[in-house]
C-alpha cells in the first residue's frame, strides 16, 4: 500500500497539519509513505520533510507555476503522480488541501472524502456532518482513495535528527495559465498557530470592537495562547477572517479553550467542542455555551478579563 501525502507549506516551512496528515497515513497501515512537496524554490521544505518518521520518499516538484499552489496546476500534477501506483492520496483539511484535493480527484474520476476524523480500516473512515451534530461512518470502493484529514484528530508525526527519507525529483510541469496570483494579505504570525496551539482564547460579539481584543491578547501573552473569534466578531470587522473558529472556519482542539462573549451557536461549537477543557465567560447565564463548558463564569467580561490577567 503506497500512500501519497500532499505537503502543505509556504516554500519555506511545512505546516503543522502536514505532520498530522502523515500520522493518518501511518494509521492506514502503510510502510511506504511518499510526501509530495510541490512548490517553487522549496528546498528548505524538502529538508524538513526528509526528517519525518514514517516518510520513505519525498517527491519534490520545484517549478515556478507551483509557487502559489494554484489548484489548476497542482491538481494535474497530483493526478499524474497518483496514477502510477498509489492506493491513497491524503492532504490536510486546510484551505489549500480542500482547494486542490477534490480537483485532483475529479481528474482521476473519483469521489473524494472530506475532512476525516478517524480511520476504521483502509477504506472506512469517520467524518463529522451537520456541523458536528452527527458522525458519519463512510466506506469507499474508489480505485484510489482521496481524502482530506482533520489535523486536530491526529497527533503530529515524530521527526528524527537524521534524514529518514530519500528525495526524488519530479519533473512533471503543468502551467495551465488559467489562474494567476495577484497578491496576499497574510496575518502576522506572532502567536502560536490556531490549529495547533495548546491554549486558545476566543472573543465574540460581546467584545464590542477590535480594540477590546487587546484584553484577550494580554492574557494570551501570559498563556502562550492563540487568539480566535466567532463569526459575529469577524463579520463585524473586529478581527481578521483567519481567526474564525467553527463549522466553516478553523477547527481547534486545544487543552484549554476560553470563549469570551460568545453565545455558543452550533456553528461555533463545531469548531471547538473537542477541546479538552472549555471555559466560558458570558454575562448571560442562559447562554448555550455554558452547556458545554467545563467551567462557566457568569459576569461582565470587561471586569473579568483584567482580573484574570492580573491573577495569572
Partner 1 sequence: MKILVAVKRVVDYNVKVRVNADNSGIDLANTKMSINPFCEIAVEEALRLKEKGLADEVIVVSIGSRKCEEQLRYAMALGADRGILLETDSTPSSLYCAKLLSKMVEKENPGLIILGKQSIDSDNNQTGQILAGLCGIAQGTFASELTIEGGQAIVTREVDSGLQTLSLTLPAVITTDLRLNEPRYAKLPQIMKAKKKPLETLSAETLVAPFAPQVTTQRVDAPTQRKAGSKVANVEELINKLKNEAKVIS
Ligand X SMILES: Cc1cc2nc3c(=O)[nH]c(=O)nc-3n(C[C@H](O)[C@H](O)[C@H](O)COP(=O)(O)OP(=O)(O)OC[C@H]3O[C@@H](n4cnc5c(N)ncnc54)[C@H](O)[C@@H]3O)c2cc1C
Residue 189's CB: how many other CB atoms inside 10 A? Answer: 7
Extract the C-alpha cell encoding 213: 481584543
Does 307 engage in binding with ligand X (CB under 6 A)?
no
Stretch that binds ligand X, among 23-31, 50-58, 66-74, 295-303 (CB under 6 A): 295-303
| Residues with Cβ within 8 Å of residue 110, at least 6 apart in sequence | 142, 143, 144, 145, 146
Does 195 engage in binding with ligand X (CB under 6 A)?
no
Query: What distance in Å separates the CA atoms of residue 268 and residue 230, rounded to the nearest whole number?
Result: 7
Query: What distance in Å separates the CA atoms of residue 52 and residue 55, rounded to the nearest whole number?
Result: 6
**DSSP 8-state symbol, 52:** B
Closest approach, Cβ 216 to partner 1, in A, equals: 15
Closest approach, Cβ 67 to partner 1, in A, equals: 12
| Residues with Cβ within 8 Å of residue 35, at least 6 apart in sequence | 5, 7, 18, 22, 49, 52, 55, 57, 58, 59, 165
Residue whose CB is less far from ligand X, 196 or 247: 247
Residue facing ligand X at closest CB distance: 246
**DSSP 8-state symbol, 132:** G
Query: What distance in Å separates the CA atoms of residue 276 and residue 256, rounded to the nearest whole number?
Result: 6
Closest approach, Cβ 113 to partner 1, in A, equals: 6
- Give which of partner 1, ligand X, none residue 138 binds (C-beta under 5 to 8 Å, depending on kind): partner 1
Closest approach, Cβ 84 to partner 1, in A, equals: 19
- Give which of partner 1, ligand X, none residue 288 binds (C-beta under 5 to 8 Å, depending on kind): none
Residues of span 205-244 touching ligand X by CB under 6 A: 205-206, 230-233, 244
Binding mask 229-258 for partner 1 (x = CB under 8 A): --x--xx----xxx----xx-x----xx--
Candidates 284, 291, 306, 312; binder of ligand X (CB under 6 A) is 284
- With H, G, I as helix, E, B as strand and everything else as coil, classify residue 24: helix
Residues of span 139-158 touching partner 1 by CB under 8 A: 139-142
Candidates 41, 109, 284, 300; binder of partner 1 (CB under 8 A) is 109
| Residues with Cβ within 8 Å of residue 200, at least 6 apart in sequence | 194, 225, 226, 227, 228, 245, 252, 254, 256, 257, 258, 272, 275
**Residues touching ligand X: how many (CB under 6 A)?**
27
Residues of span 265-284 touching partner 1 by CB under 8 A: 266-267, 273, 276-279
The CA dihedral of 96, 147, 158, 197, to the nearest 10 degrees, is 50
8 Å CB contact between 34 and 85: no
- Give which of ligand X, partner 1, none residue 177 binds (C-beta under 5 to 8 Å, depending on kind): partner 1
Closest approach, Cβ 241 to partner 1, in A, equals: 5
Extract the C-alpha cell encoding 138: 463512510
Residues of span 159-218 touching partner 1 by CB under 8 A: 177-187, 189, 195, 199
Residue whose CB is less far from partner 1, 50 or 82: 82
Most distant CA pair in the chain: distance in Å? Answer: 61
Q: Which of 209, 156, 216 is nearest to 191 (CA)?
A: 216
Closest approach, Cβ 25 to partner 1, in A, equals: 19
Residue whose CB is less far from ligand X, 73 or 94: 94
8 Å CB contact between 60 and 168: yes
Binding mask 145-184 for ligand X (x = CB under 6 A): ----------------------------------------
Amino acid at each position: 500500500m503506497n500512500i501519497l501525502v500532499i505537503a502543505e507549506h509556504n516554500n519555506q516551512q511545512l505546516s503543522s497539519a502536514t505532520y498530522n496528515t502523515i500520522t493518518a497515513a501511518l494509521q492506514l497501515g502503510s510502510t511506504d509513505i511518499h510526501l509530495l512537496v510541490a512548490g517553487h524554490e522549496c528546498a528548505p521544505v524538502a529538508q524538513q520533510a526528509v526528517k519525518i518518521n514514517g516518510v520513505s520518499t519525498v517527491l519534490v516538484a520545484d517549478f515556478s507555476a507551483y509557487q502559489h499552489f494554484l489548484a489548476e496546476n497542482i491538481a494535474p500534477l497530483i493526478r499524474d503522480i497518483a496514477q502510477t501506483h498509489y492506493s491513497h492520496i491524503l492532504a490536510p483539511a486546510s484551505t489549500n488541501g480542500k482547494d486542490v484535493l477534490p480537483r485532483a480527484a475529479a481528474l482521476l474520476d473519483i469521489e473524494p472524502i472530506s475532512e476525516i476524523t478517524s480511520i476504521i480500516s483502509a477504506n472506512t473512515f469517520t467524518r463529522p456532518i451537520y456541523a458536528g451534530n452527527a458522525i458519519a461512518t463512510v466506506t469507499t470502493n474508489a480505485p484510489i482513495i482521496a481524502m482530506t484529514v482533520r489535523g486536530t484528530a491526529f497527533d503530529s508525526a515524530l521527526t528524527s535528527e537524521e534524514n529518514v527519507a530519500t528525495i526524488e525529483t519530479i519533473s512533471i510541469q503543468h502551467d495551465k495559465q488559467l489562474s494567476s496570483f495577484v497578491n496576499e494579505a497574510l496575518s502576522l504570525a506572532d502567536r502560536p498557530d490556531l490549529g495547533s496551539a495548546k491554549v486558545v482564547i476566543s472573543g465574540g460579539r460581546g467584545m464590542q470592537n477590535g480594540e477590546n481584543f487587546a484584553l484577550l491578547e494580554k492574557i494570551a501573552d501570559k498563556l502562550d495562547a492563540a487568539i480566535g473569534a466567532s463569526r459575529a466578531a469577524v463579520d463585524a470587522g473586529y478581527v481578521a477572517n483567519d481567526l474564525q473558529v467553527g463549522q466553516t472556519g478553523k477547527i481547534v482542539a486545544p487543552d484549554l479553550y476560553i470563549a469570551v462573549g460568545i453565545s455558543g451557536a452550533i456553528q461555533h461549537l463545531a469548531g471547538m467542542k473537542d477541546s479538552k477543557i472549555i471555559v466560558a465567560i458570558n454575562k448571560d447565564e442562559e447562554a448555550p455555551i455554558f452547556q458545554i463548558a467545563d467551567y462557566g463564569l457568569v459576569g461582565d467580561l470587561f471586569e473579568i478579563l483584567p482580573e484574570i490577567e492580573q491573577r495569572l
